[in-house]
């Protein structure tokens, strides 16, 4: 099965959570009669209180023979650091823009990060059924934003789709209304590249974010950049520092992988083995921190850490 890793980014109230919920429904994650308004992606208590996404969520759907890992990221400027981390796990972004409001300040911040990382953008102009929609103007505003952010020619050639996330449809033509999100799924598979990873090398993964379980404690989440990993295997957790081999054995934490998960729908699914390109979660370390590298003990090569230029929400895992 092939893999695509994407992040969905948007300004507050541009319809990101509703669109993601509809993607889950149409990919068979939801019951047919389950309301998208349940907003299952925003499950953190503060998110429910404020009605915004703060913590990135790792999810996945299968469309045809392709697994699409979907990361729902914050749309509020206060949590830009969380966006920075998540973009390191993906190869493309779905930029969701309201058809009346157009690109907003936070859209600019996240878009700049995505373009600087060389990610492939896909633009969805949402809420095209609004009475005050300005589809053509918003299309041009997005292109102007990309040019202002010095997008490459390939990034400027991003596909545009036109959607009503609330009603669960997307189309490649602004004059056409479809009956599903099929065009969105197909465009993701066609336009976003498969992960550029090394499936045959020794295991290597950068920790991009953290999760928590009362059973296993801290859980490291990231994309496997090289090789594969199995439950029970011994791996090394490398300290933060410069890229390259870590020769000081006393600086490494050694442990066995106690639990290994991939994502399916809204759930973490326990698996025995995972391979390069997939976004996974693993448990078994005491010293898990964002930006650290997990590797094969025989090849302790550190990856580039994660630079965060804005403060993020503090989460107490104790």
Q: Give 150-168 pLDDT, tens digit per residue.
A: 999 999 999 999 999 999 9
Mean pLDDT for all residues in the chain: 85
pLDDT recorded at residue 30: 57
The pLDDT of residue 74 is 63
Q: For the purposes of burial, counting CB atoms within 10 Å of the CB of 248, is it exposed (0-12), middle (13-18) or buried (19 or more)?
A: exposed
Contact status, residue 121 vs residue 87, Cβ threshold 8 Å: no
Share of the chain above pLDDT 90, in %: 60
Q: Taking a C-beta distance cutoff of 8 angstroms, is the pair 63, 264 a contact? A: no
pLDDT of residue 81: 61
Tokens of 162: 């036109």
Other beta carbons within 10 angstroms of residue 238's beta carbon come to 21
Model confidence at 45: pLDDT above 90:
no
Question: What are the tokens at 191?
Answer: 């336009």
pLDDT at 55 over 70: no
Q: What pLDDT is recorded for position 212?
A: 84
The helix or strand, by DSSP H or E, that contains position 136, with its residue range, turns out to be helix 135-148
What mean pLDDT do residues 201-222 have?
A: 91
Q: For the ranges 4-18, 21-35, 54-68, which has the lowest average pLDDT?
A: 21-35
d(CA 36, CA 54): 19
């Amino acid at each position: 099965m092939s893999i695509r890793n994407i992040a969905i980014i948007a300004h507050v109230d541009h319809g990101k959570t509703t669109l993601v919920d509809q993607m889950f429904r149409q990919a068979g994650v939801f019951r047919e009669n389950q309301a998208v308004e349940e907003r299952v992606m925003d499950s953190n208590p503060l998110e429910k209180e404020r009605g915004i996404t703060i913590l990135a969520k790792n999810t996945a759907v299968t469309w045809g023979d392709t697994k699409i890992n979907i990361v729902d990221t914050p749309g509020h400027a206060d949590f830009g650091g969380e966006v920075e981390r998540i973009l390191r796990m993906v190869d493309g972004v779905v930029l969701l823009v309201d058809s009346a409001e157009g690109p907003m300040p936070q859209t600019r911040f996240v878009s700049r990060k995505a373009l600087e990382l060389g990610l492939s953008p896909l633009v969805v102009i949402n809420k095209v059924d609004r009475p005050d929609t300005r589809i053509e103007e918003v299309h041009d505003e997005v292109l102007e934003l990309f040019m202002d952010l010095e997008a490459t020619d390939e990034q400027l050639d991003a596909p545009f789709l036109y959607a009503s996330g609330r009603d669960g449809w997307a189309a490649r033509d602004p004059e056409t209304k479809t009956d599903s999100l099929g065009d969105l799924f197909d465009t993701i598979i066609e336009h976003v590249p498969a992960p550029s990873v090394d499936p045959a090398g020794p295991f290597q993964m950068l920790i991009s974010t953290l999760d928590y379980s009362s059973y296993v404690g801290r859980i490291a989440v990231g994309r496997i950049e090289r090789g594969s990993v199995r439950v029970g295997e011994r791996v090394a957790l490398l300290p933060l520092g410069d890229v390259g081999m870590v020769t000081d054995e006393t600086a490494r934490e050694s442990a066995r992988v106690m639990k290994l998960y991939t994502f399916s729908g809204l759930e973490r699914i326990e698996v025995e083995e995972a391979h390069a390109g997939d976004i996974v979660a693993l448990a078994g370390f005491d010293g898990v921190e964002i930006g650290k590298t997990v590797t094969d003990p025989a090849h302790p090569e550190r990856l580039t850490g994660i630079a965060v230029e804005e403060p993020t929400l503090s989460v107490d895992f104790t």
